């Protein structure tokens, strides 16, 4: 079977599986051919994904954006209205705060970070993505992480942290500590939208970022040299 036929067949089966799934289906590894795709090919396949209900009301799929060989992957929950309208992640108020926070530790989507979300299409009225929607969308993110192989991951908020770590610990206990996602150091921290809503989260979010910066500096001499030279 040709690769294109394999992809089409897989998409068909995956779409059917997602429609039939109650979201509790056992997690599985991303299929091999998604692993083999380069970034633009993977993004192109996401743009024609109709695996779940979120695809019906979207203006744009939001695959993610940033460096093609990132030091850091920053993972949020899902697109909001601004992201749905533009097709780009974190461009609204929360995104502007995120950019400022990342900038303060020498990380940016223009240079050394890739920014993505757990789900690639906007949940209506910004509700949490449902387990079945996450289940259908996660293979895209898993393939992105495998492809981009970041040195560290920053997970923003409850949905990203719980999904990637497979836990349901409240953010108050989870944030600021390093865990591992498939061998990659991952730190959960507060979502910038939560920080915008609740001023008291500003300080702990900043403390998290400083710890993230220090771990990155230990893992990457080039990053360390760049931030020390500032
Ligand atoms: N919130 C998210 O989780 N992701 C975005 O892309 C924008 C806002």
DSSP state of 114: E
Q: Position of tokens 């809503």?
A: 197
Residue 100: CB partners within 8 Å, gap ≥ 6? Answer: none
Q: Which of 89, 119, 126, 192 to mutate to test the pocket of ligand 1 (most atoms within 8 A of CB)?
A: 89
In a domain, 14, yes or no: no
In a domain, 162, yes or no: yes
Q: Is a pLDDT exceeding 60 seen at residue 97?
A: yes
Reduce the DSSP state of residue 161 to 3 states and report it: helix
In a domain, 72, yes or no: yes
**Which tokens in the block code for residue 14?**
């995956």
Determine the structural domain holding residue 148 and report its residue range.
59-228
More confident residue, 1 or 118: 118
Radius of gyration of the chain (CA): 17
Question: What pLDDT is attached to residue 69?
Answer: 96
In a domain, 28, yes or no: no
Residues counted in the chain:
230
In a domain, 198, yes or no: yes
Burial of 86 (0-12, 13-18, 19+ CB in 10 A): middle
> C-alpha distances in angstroms, 38 versus 31, 44, 45, 130, 141?
14, 10, 11, 28, 13
In a domain, 3, yes or no: no
The tens digit of pLDDT for each residue in 72-87 reads 999 999 999 999 999 9
- In the chain, the number of structural domains is 1
In a domain, 197, yes or no: yes
Taking alpha carbons only, the member of 149, 168, 150 closest to residue 158 is 168
Taking alpha carbons only, the member of 159, 163, 170, 172 closest to residue 128 is 159
Task: Give percent of the chain with pLDDT exceeding 70.
Answer: 90
In a domain, 24, yes or no: no
Distance from the CA of 77 to the center of ligand 1, in angstroms?
6
Question: What pLDDT is attached to residue 21?
Answer: 61
Other C-beta atoms within 10 Å of 46: how many?
19
Distance from the CA of 73 to the center of ligand 1, in angstroms?
14
The whole-angstrom separation of Cα 25 and Cα 103 is: 39
Distance from the CA of 70 to the center of ligand 1, in angstroms?
19
The tens digit of pLDDT for each residue in 144-173 reads 999 999 999 999 999 999 999 999 999 999
- 105: domain CATH number is 3.40.470.10
């Amino acid at each position: 079977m040709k690769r294109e036929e394999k992809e089409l067949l897989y998409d068909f089966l995956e779409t059917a599986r997602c429609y039939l799934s109650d979201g509790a289906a056992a997690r599985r590894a991303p299929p091999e051919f998604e692993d083999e795709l380069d970034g633009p090919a993977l993004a192109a396949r996401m743009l024609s994904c109709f695996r779940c209900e979120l695809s019906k009301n979207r203006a744009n799929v939001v695959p993610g954006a940033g460096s093609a060989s990132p030091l850091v992957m920053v993972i949020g929950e899902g697109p909001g209205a601004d992201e749905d309208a533009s097709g780009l992640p974190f461009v609204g108020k929360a995104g502007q705060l995120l950019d400022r926070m990342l900038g303060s530790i020498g990380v940016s989507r223009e240079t050394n970070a890739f920014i993505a979300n757990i789900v690639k299409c906007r949940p209506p009225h910004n509700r949490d993505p449902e387990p079945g929607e996450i289940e259908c969308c996660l293979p895209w993110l898993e393939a992105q992480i495998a492809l981009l192989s970041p040195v560290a991951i920053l997970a923003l908020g409850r949905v990203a942290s719980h999904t990637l770590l497979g836990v349901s610990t409240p953010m108050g206990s989870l944030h600021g500590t390093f865990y591992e996602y498939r061998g990659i150091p991952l730190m959960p921290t507060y979502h910038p939208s939560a920080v915008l809503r609740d001023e008291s989260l500003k300080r702990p979010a900043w403390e998290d970022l400083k710890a993230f910066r220090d771990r990155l500096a230990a893992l990457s001499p080039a990053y360390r040299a760049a931030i020390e030279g500032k």
